[in-house]
Structure 1
Amino acid sequence: MGEAVMFPNYHEFNGTKPRDMNDSWFEEVIDDNLKWSFALNSVLHRGISEYQEIVLLDTKRFGKALVIDGKMQSAESDEFIYHECLIHPSLLCHPNPKTLFIMGGGEGSSAREALKHKSIEKVTMCDIDEEVVAFCRQHLTANKEAFRNKLLELVINDAKIELEERKDKFDIIVGDLADPVEGGPCYQLYTKSFYQDILKPRLNPHGIFVTQAGPAGVFTHQEVFSSIYNTIKQVFKYVVAYTTHVPSFADEWGWVMASDSPFFIEEETMDKKIREMINGELLYLDGASFYSLTVLNKMVSSSLKNETHVYTEHNARFIHGQGVGKKDTI
């Protein structure tokens, strides 16, 4: 969502507290004239891997929060909203999902949600950054069981390369990727050529692809959301976009789900499948709420209808901010 991580009067990143906790804040630069700040208890970890900057914060409002390349990725208090919206609609719309491939998802929350489904036989999680995965396994206690689950296959690799080289196919492919920022590790995984030539051939018949698609608010949906939606429409026959507010992101967030098979099911059927197919209880989604998420306001729906930009390697759109790769060139 933003650009820089700033810690006024805070120069240690080993989890110790500053002298005056009232002066300890995380500041995310969302745009040139907009910032979003969190009061902190402490900074639990900060480091730079080969691919991205990683920070784990203990915030006063949202609990533990994972920040990558200066952008809020996940907060303890409300990450269930993002991850339930990302994972469950595709699994509930598929007639019998058994195999699922997650691009990214290193924190383990997407795998945790997918493994709640009784029909799932294997979840493959492929993240490029081993340091992020190790870091999340150590610090994010909510996902420890998911990482230990025997149905989870953890792969450290570029998801593009992994899908190119694999022979197996999947019922569901999930894009739990960082937002496309200039110099970031994953913007090529939002392109038409990737969707068409690499991802789609790895789906089984009736397979469904779903991806997070960035900020989707009135003032932010044209950054990447509308372009990602339009790009996916060039590749798949049936495409649906949906959005909801995620408090720690300070914005509406968007997802796009796509298939070459129709995936409409009624609210009552979705509720029935939630009761029968999922272990445990969902906190956010049910049949009625999911369909409400697909009803976009007039401004956003008009933008999606009229969008002409197609995401390519040479004509990419980025949200505000910079990844480690870009910073290294400055």
Structure 2
Amino acid sequence: MGSLSISNGENNGCLENSIYSNGLIGKVQSEGDQLQRKSCWYEEEIEDNLRWSFALNRILHTGVTQYQDIQLLDTKPFGKALVIDGKLQSAEIDEFIYHECLVHPPLLHHPNPKSIFIMGGGEGSTAREILRHKTVDKVVMCDIDKEVVDFCKSYLVVNKEAFGDPRLELIINDARAELQSRVEKYDVIIGDLADPLEGGPCYKLYTKSFYENVVKPKLTNNGVFVTQAGPAGIFSHTEVFSSIYNTLKHVFKYVIAYSAHVPSYADTWGWVMGSDSELMLKAEEFDLRMKQRMNGENRFLDGTTFLSASTLCKAVRKSLDNETHVYTEGCARFIHGHGKLN
């Protein structure tokens, strides 16, 4: 879980708000107070014996919803950062890496993506990237937590245009229930969900039964599904990444796992893409489709980068090849931490 703390125990005006998280009390500076250099910190416990921390300028907002704890931090190294249930979800300086990797591979592998369904995506960045594609007519973004969506609409100015795009339909509901209730099918379905966290609201949306019985029937003939799949580093990939990959292999004919380093996550991050139509464009075709279909330039992803991202290192490839765990509600895996509902 994430924590906010004051170094050296100094009383420097950071006493107006307090957050209790994972047994630690962090004292938070209000916006009008002066902050001594490197005295206010955010700390996230990645493993039992490993923590990641960085200095803050100030706390912009904190809140507690029915489902999650949320914080918006103004950090020194990463700009504005959204934290949910003590896990950093997105940081202003490098969120483009995550969102370009999540969105563009499935849309570019589809021959003509017009209708897209986002599970989660409350901050709006996934919708922003999808709406850069000229072929897209409709984007349905379904997030369970209205307060998180409203929070992001208010504070994340970079996504203001996306939230106002007439092609975007915003739904507040459980993604499973929403998909099941809809008659229409989608060219691409994107899982931009919170990590599978014990006590969190999302882990049931990483299961074989969900992929097989809910997601796949809602895809068109050439449909592509992609999900964020948690940490994918050489030591962290066995938490959930390898299991999600193996689970999707039981559902789709073609499955690709890929990863990229995201600095604010302090790790390599993973995504898994599946379809019953063949995947894996050549780099040249990937780039050509980007040029023909998309508005604006990517900052991170192109054909060569995707080829590299989907060429995993030897140790991770071996783990994925040997993985036997299938993700079910009764046999789930979780990343380190605990959700609010626990």
The TM-score bracket by the shorter chain reads: over 0.9
* Cα deviations by residue, 1:131-168 (Å, 9 ceiling, x for unpaired): 00000000001100000000000000000110111111
* Cα deviations by residue, 1:66-100 (Å, 9 ceiling, x for unpaired): 00000010000000000000000011110000000
Please state whether the residue corresponding to 1:103 is helix, strand or coil: strand
| Match 2:4 to one of 1, 6, 12 | 6
- Normalised by the length of structure 1, the TM-score is 0.96
Number of positions where the alignment pairs a residue of Structure 1 with one of Structure 2: 324
* Cα deviations by residue, 1:278-309 (Å, 9 ceiling, x for unpaired): 01111111111111101000110000000011
Per the alignment, residue 289 of structure 1 pairs with: 305
Please state whether the residue corresponding to 2:269 is helix, strand or coil: strand
| Match 2:277 to one of 254, 257, 261 | 261
Q: Amino acid of the residue matched to residue 141 of structure 1?
A: V
Q: Give the deviation of 1:21 after TM superposition.
A: 4.4
Matched-pair contact (CA < 8 Å) for 1:4–1:321: no
Q: Give the deviation of 1:23 after TM superposition.
A: 1.4
Q: Distance in 1 between matches of 2:197 and 2:114?
A: 33
Per the alignment, residue 48 of structure 1 pairs with: 64
Q: Give the deviation of 1:263 after TM superposition.
A: 2.1
| Match 1:243 to one of 259, 270, 287 | 259
Q: Amino acid of the residue matched to residue 99 of structure 2?
A: H
Q: Distance in 2 between matches of 1:317 and 1:311?
A: 7
Matched-pair contact (CA < 8 Å) for 1:16–1:43: no
Return structure 1 stretches of 4+ with deviation > 4 angstroms: none
Q: Distance in 1 between matches of 2:184 and 2:45?
A: 41
Per the alignment, residue 218 of structure 2 pairs with: 202
Q: Give the deviation of 1:219 after TM superposition.
A: 1.0
Per the alignment, residue 320 of structure 1 pairs with: 336
Q: Amino acid of the residue matched to residue 2 of structure 2?
A: A
Q: Distance in 2 between matches of 1:34 and 1:108?
A: 31
Residue correspondence of structure 1 range 83-122 to structure 2 within 5 A: 83-122=99-138
Matched-pair contact (CA < 8 Å) for 1:92–1:273: yes
Q: Distance in 2 between matches of 1:286 and 1:253?
A: 17
Matched-pair contact (CA < 8 Å) for 2:4–2:40: no
* Cα deviations by residue, 1:183-204 (Å, 9 ceiling, x for unpaired): 1010000000000001100000
CA RMSD of aligned residues (A): 1.1
Matched-pair contact (CA < 8 Å) for 2:282–2:303: yes
Matched-pair contact (CA < 8 Å) for 1:216–1:251: yes
- Normalised by the length of structure 2, the TM-score is 0.93
Q: Distance in 2 between matches of 1:95 and 1:199?
A: 19
Per the alignment, residue 98 of structure 2 pairs with: 82
Bigger RCO of structures 1 and 2 (CA < 8 A, at least 6 apart):
1
Per the alignment, residue 321 of structure 2 pairs with: 305
Q: Give the deviation of 1:17 after TM superposition.
A: 3.6
Q: Distance in 2 between matches of 1:156 and 1:307?
A: 35
Q: Distance in 2 between matches of 1:216 and 1:287?
A: 21
Please state whether the residue corresponding to 2:242 is helix, strand or coil: helix
Q: Distance in 2 between matches of 1:83 and 1:4?
A: 22
Q: Amino acid of the residue matched to residue 5 of structure 1?
A: S
Consecutive unaligned residues of structure 2, counting only runs of 5 or more, are 18-27
